[in-house]
Amino acid sequence: MIPEDLFYSEEHEWVRIDGDVATVGITDFAQDQLGDIVYVDLPAEGESVEAGSVVGELESTKSVSDVFVPVSGEVIARNDALESTPEVINSDPYGEGWLIKVRTSGEDPTSALLTAEAYSSLVSG
């Protein structure tokens, strides 16, 4: 399941653009690879982030994985509900399992991201 209306990173994050706000989460493929997510560490609101940098981590029953931010800007919201229910990322990665919202800065934030079709090729290849 790869929603057509989102953009993707090669590190398996998805991005939904709404004006200058990018909502970021991990893809269904990524949550499936991780297994049951038991802990989430996210950046603080107000933190400046640079595209491609590590901004947090997800801990699962299998491993610990870095969370990369696919866009640059300022974190304006974090999904604090994940602190008590991190498993929502497994059950609804494209909805209630979102991680952070970033007010983007600079040029087109999607220019370095993949389309759904390109991401599908990446994970199926």
In tens, the pLDDT along 74-106 reads 999 999 999 999 999 999 999 999 999 999 987
Q: Which residue has 């038991």 as its token pair? A: 38
Q: What is the pLDDT of residue 107?
A: 80
In 3D space, the residue among 124, 30, 125, 121 whose CA is nearest the CA of residue 70 turns out to be 30
Which domains can be identified in the chain, with CATH numbers?
Answer: 35-107 (2.40.50.100)
pTM of the complete model: 0.95
CA dihedral sign, ordered 87, 90, 96, 102: positive
What is the DSSP secondary structure assignment for residue 44, as one 8-state letter? P
Query: Cα(first)–Cα(last) distance of the chain, in Å?
Result: 15
The pLDDT tens digits for 5-33 are: 999 999 999 999 999 999 999 999 999 99
Please classify residue 14 by burial: count the beta carbons closer than 10 Å to its beta carbon, then call 0-12 exposed, 13-18 middle and 19+ buried.
buried
Q: What is the pLDDT of residue 106?
A: 76
In 3D space, the residue among 23, 85, 34 whose CA is nearest the CA of residue 57 turns out to be 34
